[in-house]
Amino acid sequence: MKYRRVGTSDLEISEIAFGCGGNAGLMIKGSPVEQTRIVARALELGITYFDNSPDYGDGVAEINLGRVMKELKVRPLLNSKVEIRAVNLGDVADHVVRSCEESLTRLGVDVIDMFQIHNGPTAKPLELKGAVYAQLGMPYYPAAIEGIQRLLDSGKIRTAGFICRGNDAAEVREVLDSGLFRLINIPYTLLNPTAGMKKPYGLTVDKDFGDEIGLAKARGASAAIYSPLASGVLTDDFLAGIRHPLAKPLDKGPTHQVEALTFLKEATGVSLAQAALRFVLMNDGVATVLGGFSAMEQLEETAKVPDLPLLSPEVMKRLDALWRSDFRRS
């Protein structure tokens, strides 16, 4: 395992992180024995950073990780988040603090190493109907930042970050310019590489992330990459029609685009997932890749990635050609 510093903070974390979210499902729906076994192996492999949230199973993932840490007598570096919903908009700062305190209790610790706003910034919030929503909106971000500052001042968190949701580069820049945040969570994949580069001419994407990894790096922050395999579609299993029973079902996937990327297996001699993750870690603005593990085999496969060779210039040229051809769509 290799390690990278998070921006200008004093945190140094493993290039592969342990994601506790619902897409992989292990820390929500897995058996206690399997959760303990896989977390123990992750620690043996050198994974030091565990990404969690009260939104993962309504606190279940935090409770389960807290139990496993107590059972194994370990204390890795921990991330958690605050999800701000419509019902919280009357007291955003207080909600941020309360949510953190509840996460501390579920995890069984006194301090969280990285605490993030789970909602992305946009100029305007989406229509609010009480449910979970992805965008908080700049009108409410100052109150959320106030809550984060209170947590930093009280010592309940060590470092702060937030989530990027796309088409929000101007707002992300504004939040980073506050100087408070050292980590952004953002998707960056072979299917949509715009978080780490200018959008290739000709490529169709549903969201343009405007090289926000570069924006963060220039402001003393790093990126943690969530859903680096695009919810599991950038895998050999996806093309074979295999989905682990713990994982969240997929309604459909970009089969044509994934098939176009299978040249990577022959060109690199590794699995499609490993090549996809190796691509992500080639960006020096990335601190870590959030791996989602449903099974031990997925953990073992992912943990090998930091030691794999970089993708060659020839491979990168082929990728660029694929992006510019929009994966050769007719």
Q: Which residues pair with 5 in a beta bridge?
A: 12
Does residue 198 lie within any of the structural domains?
Answer: yes
Question: How does pLDDT run across 243-260, given as a tens digit for each residue?
Answer: 999 999 987 789 999 999
Does residue 128 lie within any of the structural domains?
Answer: yes
Residue 137 pLDDT: 77
Please provide the average confidence, as pLDDT, over all residues in the chain. 94
CB 76 within 8 A of CB 48: yes
CB 133 within 8 A of CB 119: yes
Residue range 175-196: mean pLDDT, rounded: 97
Q: Which domain holds residue 294?
A: 3-324
Question: How does pLDDT run across 68-98, given as a tens digit for each residue?
Answer: 999 999 999 999 999 988 888 889 999 999 9
Distance CA 21, CA 227 (A): 10
- Under DSSP, is residue 327 helix (H, G, I), strand (E, B) or coil? coil
Does residue 222 lie within any of the structural domains?
Answer: yes
Please state the domain count of the chain.
1
Residue 140 pLDDT level (bands cut at 50, 70, 90): confident
Does residue 71 lie within any of the structural domains?
Answer: yes
Distance CA 61, CA 161 (A): 20
Question: How does pLDDT run across 190-218, given as a tens digit for each residue?
Answer: 999 999 999 999 999 999 999 999 999 99
Question: How does pLDDT run across 37-80, given as a tens digit for each residue?
Answer: 999 999 999 999 999 999 999 999 999 999 999 999 999 999 99
Does residue 206 lie within any of the structural domains?
Answer: yes
Helix (H), strand (E) at residue 146: helix 141-154
Please check the confidence at residue 119 and state whether its pLDDT lies above 60.
Answer: yes
Residue 123 pLDDT level (bands cut at 50, 70, 90): low
pTM over 0.85: yes
Please check the confidence at residue 330 and state whether its pLDDT lies above 70.
Answer: no
Residue range 112-128: mean pLDDT, rounded: 81
Residue 206 pLDDT: 93
Largest Cα span, the chain: 57
Distance CA 291, CA 277 (A): 9
Does residue 330 lie within any of the structural domains?
Answer: no
**Bigger pLDDT: 328 or 117?**
117
How many residues are listed for the chain in this entry?
330
Please check the confidence at residue 128 and state whether its pLDDT lies above 90.
Answer: no
255-293 CB burial, b ≥16 within 10 A, e <16: eebbebbeebeeebebbbbbbbbbbbbebebbbbbbbbb
Does residue 329 lie within any of the structural domains?
Answer: no
Please check the confidence at residue 221 and state whether its pLDDT lies above 60.
Answer: yes
Residue 126 pLDDT: 55
Which tokens hold the place of 73? 């007598």
Does residue 197 lie within any of the structural domains?
Answer: yes
- Residue 9's domain is classified under what CATH number? 3.20.20.100
Helix (H), strand (E) at residue 14: strand 12-14
Residue 240 pLDDT: 92
CB 157 within 8 A of CB 171: no
Residue 103 pLDDT: 98
Residue 86 pLDDT: 81
Question: How does pLDDT run across 265-310, given as a tens digit for each residue?
Answer: 999 999 999 999 999 999 999 999 999 999 999 999 999 999 999 9
- Report the range of poorest mean pLDDT among 115-129, 259-273, 284-298, 307-321: 115-129
